Amino acid sequence: MSDAEVGQLQRLRAITAEQLADHRPRSATVLGVAGGNGLDAVDPARFDEIVGIDLNAEYLEACEARYRGALGDRLHLIEARIDRSLRLSETDLVIANLIVEYVGVDEFAAFAGVNADRIGVLSVVVQRNDDEGFVSRTEYTSAFSGLASVSSDVDAGRLVEALDAVGFTEIGAVDHPLPNRKTLVRRDFRRRWTSGSSEA
């Protein structure tokens, strides 16, 4: 991996740690968990449950090997495709870092909408390229980083609109510029209403 690639993974790891520290959940669900980048920031003493979801079984095996020892029965790894047919268990925090690029904004919003009453806070990171295509010219070669074939660019403004339309209000925004003219754009959301009730 190039220095930039290593740097990006380290920044994503640090952002996951911030997401956990900011919201202090007892339960969290990590979408596109890959090999578990950032799960070292989970303090087992403060957690009841940490769920990781990914469609890549090999990545999940790597995650299992890395974190089962530290997290024990709290860790639930689920091989599944993230789309509107997937139902989450109730969770304080959903972390979705560099996953909307694969799922697509509309499908991700549909997924969030059908799970809205099971999600406390939804924290999303998308990548903005300031001067080139989404995947850097040198491909990520790290096994289990999950960064090898990132799909299409995501406009954070459109994501905010799509999530707003399914009941999530933006509650926080932080941009993390990287040295390679990319920015990791974090947006946090809380649901406005639950099914069966009117908008708060």
Footprint of ligand SAM (CB under 6 A): 9, 12, 16, 32, 34, 37-38, 53-56, 59, 81-82, 97-99, 102-103, 146-147, 150
- Asked whether 91 and 120 are in contact (CB, 8 A), the reply is yes
Q: How far is the CB of 116 from ligand SAM (least distance, A)?
A: 19
Tokens of 179: 């040295």
Q: How far is the CB of 58 from ligand SAM (least distance, A)?
A: 9
Q: How far is the CB of 105 from ligand SAM (least distance, A)?
A: 13
Q: How far is the CB of 102 from ligand SAM (least distance, A)?
A: 3
Q: Where are the alpha helices (DSSP H) in 29-103?
A: 57-71, 100-103
Q: CA angle at residue 71 from 30 to 37, to 5 degrees?
A: 40
Q: How far is the CB of 151 from ligand SAM (least distance, A)?
A: 8
The smaller minimum CB distance to ligand SAM, of residues 37 and 123, is found at 37
- Amino acid identity of residue 151, one-letter, is S
SS3 assignment, position 134: coil
The smaller minimum CB distance to ligand SAM, of residues 32 and 167, is found at 32
The smaller minimum CB distance to ligand SAM, of residues 137 and 197, is found at 137
Residues 6+ apart with CB under 8 A from 98: 12, 32, 125, 126, 127, 146, 147, 150
The smaller minimum CB distance to ligand SAM, of residues 186 and 200, is found at 186
- Asked whether 135 and 105 are in contact (CB, 8 A), the reply is no
SS3 assignment, position 82: coil
The smaller minimum CB distance to ligand SAM, of residues 70 and 143, is found at 143
The smaller minimum CB distance to ligand SAM, of residues 112 and 150, is found at 150
182-191/119-129 β-pairing: antiparallel
CA distance 123 to 35: 19
Q: How far is the CB of 79 from ligand SAM (least distance, A)?
A: 9
